[in-house]
Structure 1
Amino acid sequence: MQEAARVTEITTEFQRIYDLLASIVGEGYVSTRKAERFLYSRDWTGTTSLLSPVEPDFVVMPKTTEEVQRIVRLANRYNIPLVPQCTNLTSLGVAHSWEGGIRIDLRRMNRILEVNEGDMYAVLEPGVTWGDFAKYIDEHHPEFAHPGCHGPAGAGVVPMYLSWGMPNDGFLTGSAENIQGLEVILPTGELIRTGSAIASPYWFGRLPLLDITGLFVGAMGSTGIITKAAIGIWPKHLKSDIYIAAPNYREGLYQISKKLVRANLGITWFMTVNHACLASFGGQPNSNIPLDPEAAGQPDYHAIITVKAYSEKEMDAKLESLTEIAQAGGAAHISTMEDLLTSFPTENRSILPNVLNEPSQTYTIVQDGGLEYSGTYGPMDTHADFYYACRRLCAEKYNWPIHWFSRFMKGGHYSCIRPCFFSYDRNDPEEVKRVHQMAKDCGRIALEHGAIPYKANPWKMRLIAEKADAGSVEFIRRLQKFLDPKGIMNPGSGRV
């Protein structure tokens, strides 16, 4: 809202909005209480990712699509900012009430509406969590595997895909490419569908009409509120988790990773980390991690790969080929995940499996451990140069071991690359400031190497705008203005 119209400053207006929201969702599902507004001023990273906490004026939890429509229309009528989210497990400040207004939490919209085994998709409401989805698929469709998520079990399935998050089968499916259609409430209150659901009762894909699904992906709620999404699912198969280590990140990346992604071996998960990241998984504090692992005689390339196969015979053949490629590329060690865990202290052996499905376990290895990262998507060609530039900067300028985490996606066509900063002391203002500056510096380095930051909060958008094509930026702004003429939808995030 404009400063002069901030509803908390006008008692009668504030009460009118509260009463209207309560008439839509019921008294029990709207709040202006300080304690609850405080909880929505932060995200699960704890630091709100370089951002100062800002409380919404109202928190509201609708149950139905019709209730969401009525809230959107109310926000339009009174020109009130509206920030959508699910489960309050957002990260990096993408759902942040910059100008107060209404925080609309969609967690009550948590139905799994359809699982179509024939066409291999599920239709979900936005409040369905990864824990909900896994339990439902295991109980009702045991021949299928839910995609899994690189995040907590309480995080939302649909928001992960909409923000270009990393499903556990991302090497097979990519990220938001696995969305097969959406139901969306536009910022002006109209309801639309995308993909095949525009003209068919089946959500089989984003084809063959004009594909408008992308208008709502990566937009962080600035172009509409999603009330249904169709997500692709896949049959269960045998799987093996393999660990590979190599002395040098560059050589490991180009001599092992690059060849494996082209070998068509049934890989569904392909993660690479550096020595500092793996050491943190094993419980090592930053003070014990060398800034130059190669000079310290530590392998700096570590890959964890999931291979799936239809039969034991097929699996044996795939693993044989994987081993041959890794050995030819200079791998110093090839083993199973179970073997890797035996090298960890007993108390830390549960961390790495959790990292594969719930990385938040890692971020609290030390007391008061904080998390920050400068997440990007980028090409493989510049990946190694990007890594060494960030490692050198963090070591020389900040005396800090960067925790490098990356995932190859969609058959290796692109990478999700995260320069991370684990386990810093959130109670030390100077350390928080240092980590925040490292994240910004790595974001600049990313753009210099052709990678693009994602989860676009304002500081990331400012970096992107410095490099982005001016005509494209202007077109995106006109498009967002067309969809949201009053500028009420998540102002501050998802906007260039």
Structure 2
Amino acid sequence: MSQLAERLRAGLPADAVLTDPDVTSSYAHDMASFCPAGIPGAVVLPRTAEEVRHVMRTATELRVPVVPQGARTGLSGAANAPEGGIVLSLLRMNRVLEIDPVNRIAVVEPGVVNADLSKAVAAYGLTYPPDPSSWEQCTIGGNIGTASGGLCCVKYGVTAEYVLELEVVLADGRLLRTGRRTAKGVAGYDLTRLFVGSEGTLGVVVKAVLALKPAPPPQLVLAAEFGSAAAAGEAVCRIMAEGHTPSMLELMDRPTIAAVNAMTRMGLPETTEALLLAAFDTPDPAADLAAVGELCAAAGATQVVPAEDAAESEMLLAGRRVALSALEAVKGTTMIDDVCVPRSRLAELLEGVAAIADRHGLTIGVCAHAGDGNTHPTVCFDSTDPEECRRARISFDEIMELGLELGGTITGEHGVGVLKKEWMARELGPVGMEVQRGIKRVLDPLGILNPGTLF
């Protein structure tokens, strides 16, 4: 270990290499439960791409595993440290290098916080749409690593659609540039998309060119209550089938509403089985809300409440924004599933999760990006109770199995990490896994980048 630290310090500032176990242990894991993590031999905090290249050259020479990290807000264990390995924290590479309003791009380092980028581009009348629920803490590098989404994906899409160009340090320290800044370009394989969602297993992103959009008008929000998951699912189907494009279409089930009320005292209606929140940032959002309100009523909504202004809209969305934190407070620990199903089968997923919760005697709340079928069933449990932990893990797996049975996927935006790699193999099948491993071998032949993640 002393040799590792010595070699790392040869190309890094003194304060960029941490080896005290009391300090390095704080970098050991992300926010996922049931994922093993070790104590890293060293934590490095580079500020430049050249320093990252030095880290990777050193790791290759010494055959030491490396795990790239951002803010560690991930939920699949993809940022967990290997025992004795290197944690490559990119938090100090946090500069917005360029904002170009003509070409509508931003050039950023991986440690830029999502919310900070949003504030920076807002000064130019622009927006960076991907907005994970942890947007005030999570970094762009982490968003790229997990191909993250957010509340606005139903209209504006996910991270992969906004990454135009990357600079990536490969496992052996070489610097690769992928993509281009132009609006069009099809020269060669799309290596940029390959790295988006690769969870640090193929290379380390050190710079990204991101597409921007003109800032939309303020949105208005509508809340609709439903007496059943089936009715809420029917409303989602009607809204999308009629050609509406909401800026958000979010859902919370009854356990989630109860948890939010317990935390915030917001007074959301706990007698309803599902609360649907629809938002529009169109030139005439009130008209769009009126049309969607009629569709919700026709699908069986018991009450429809449109906001009259931006302040009321933010109040309605506040509960959705704190939903995951509120569910964590129920028992102190959660396992957050990330199952995405076709919109037409959303109600079946909600009903199936409720049955799983009843069967195992657990609280499982579901909040969802209903507009794109991406659900977050959240299993609440007491981590000090071994029996409850066992039931939590079983229910988590049953939810993933249900998602696949409904024609969905085991992860829509949180990634596979350590938590779901057995399920990824089931979803992709043997041929798909063979191709995935082949790509990994080409870019990381020694297997030192984030070993144990995905495979």
| TM-score, length basis structure 2 | 0.89
Match of 2:369 among 380, 386, 407: 407
Contact 1:146 1:233 in 2 (8 A): yes
Contact 2:130 2:149 in 1 (8 A): no
* 1:302 corresponds to 2:286: no
User: Which residue pairs with 1:119 in the alignment?
Assistant: 103
Flag the 1:222–1:18 CA change in 2: closer, same or farther, 3 A.
same
Distance 2:165 2:242 in 1: 31
> How many angstroms does 1:59 deviate by?
0.4
* 1:272 corresponds to 2:254: no
Distance 1:89 1:332 in 2: 37
Distance 1:143 1:462 in 2: 41
Which residues of 2 match residues 303-318 of structure 1 at below 5 A? 303-310=276-283, 314-318=284-288
Distance 1:338 1:402 in 2: 33
> How many angstroms does 1:481 deviate by?
0.7
Moved over 6 A (4+): none
Which residues of 2 match residues 333-352 of structure 1 at below 5 A? 333-336=303-306
Distance 2:185 2:142 in 1: 18
Flag the 1:490–1:145 CA change in 2: closer, same or farther, 3 A.
closer
Amino acid at match of 2:288: K
The 10-residue stretch of structure 1 (166-175 or 27-36) with the greater mean CA deviation from structure 2: 166-175
Distance 1:458 1:117 in 2: 39
Amino acid at match of 2:139: G
User: Which residue pairs with 1:464 in the alignment?
Assistant: 424
Contact 2:222 2:293 in 1 (8 A): no
> How many angstroms does 1:436 deviate by?
2.8
User: Which residue pairs with 1:80 in the alignment?
Assistant: 64
Distance 1:444 1:96 in 2: 25
Corresponding pairs, count: 445
Cα-to-partner distance string for 1:112-166 (whole Å, 9 max, x where unaligned): 122222233322211001232233234x324546543311512113312431322
> How many angstroms does 1:181 deviate by?
2.5
Contact 1:126 1:227 in 2 (8 A): yes
Amino acid at match of 2:230: R
Match of 1:186 among 165, 170, 175: 170
User: Which residue pairs with 2:38 in the alignment?
Assistant: 54
User: Which residue pairs with 2:338 in the alignment?
Assistant: 375
> How many angstroms does 1:359 deviate by?
5.2
Contact 1:281 1:351 in 2 (8 A): no
Contact 2:220 2:308 in 1 (8 A): no
Match of 2:378 among 420, 435, 441: 420
* 1:18 corresponds to 2:18: no
Cα-to-partner distance string for 1:174-202 (whole Å, 9 max, x where unaligned): 2222322222112222222222x2xxxx3
Flag the 1:131–1:238 CA change in 2: closer, same or farther, 3 A.
closer
Contact 1:145 1:236 in 2 (8 A): no
Amino acid at match of 2:289: L
Amino acid at match of 1:403: G
Which residues of 2 match residues 442-457 of structure 1 at below 5 A? 442-454=399-411, 455-457=415-417
User: Which residue pairs with 2:229 in the alignment?
Assistant: 249
Amino acid at match of 2:409: I
Contact 2:409 2:427 in 1 (8 A): no
User: Which residue pairs with 1:218 in the alignment?
Assistant: 197
Flag the 1:239–1:155 CA change in 2: closer, same or farther, 3 A.
same
Amino acid at match of 1:375: D
Flag the 1:259–1:137 CA change in 2: closer, same or farther, 3 A.
same
User: Which residue pairs with 1:290 in the alignment?
Assistant: none
The answer for unaligned runs of 5 or more in structure 2 is none
Which residues of 2 match residues 81-230 of structure 1 at below 5 A? 81-138=65-122, 140-142=123-125, 144=127, 147-175=130-158, 176-195=160-179, 197=180, 202=181, 204=183, 207=186, 209-230=188-209
> How many angstroms does 1:439 deviate by?
1.5
Flag the 1:415–1:25 CA change in 2: closer, same or farther, 3 A.
farther
Cα-to-partner distance string for 1:403-424 (whole Å, 9 max, x where unaligned): 112214xxx5x422221124x3
SS at match of 2:425: helix
SS at match of 2:99: strand
> How many angstroms does 1:457 deviate by?
2.6
| TM-score, length basis structure 1 | 0.82
Flag the 1:308–1:251 CA change in 2: closer, same or farther, 3 A.
same
* 1:36 corresponds to 2:23: yes
Contact 1:151 1:359 in 2 (8 A): no
Distance 1:315 1:350 in 2: 17
SS at match of 2:11: helix
> How many angstroms does 1:218 deviate by?
2.2
Distance 1:467 1:146 in 2: 29
Aligned alpha-carbon RMSD (Å): 2.8
Cα-to-partner distance string for 1:4-23 (whole Å, 9 max, x where unaligned): xxxxxxxxxx2221012112
Contact 1:186 1:483 in 2 (8 A): yes
User: Which residue pairs with 2:326 in the alignment?
Assistant: 362
Distance 2:426 2:328 in 1: 34
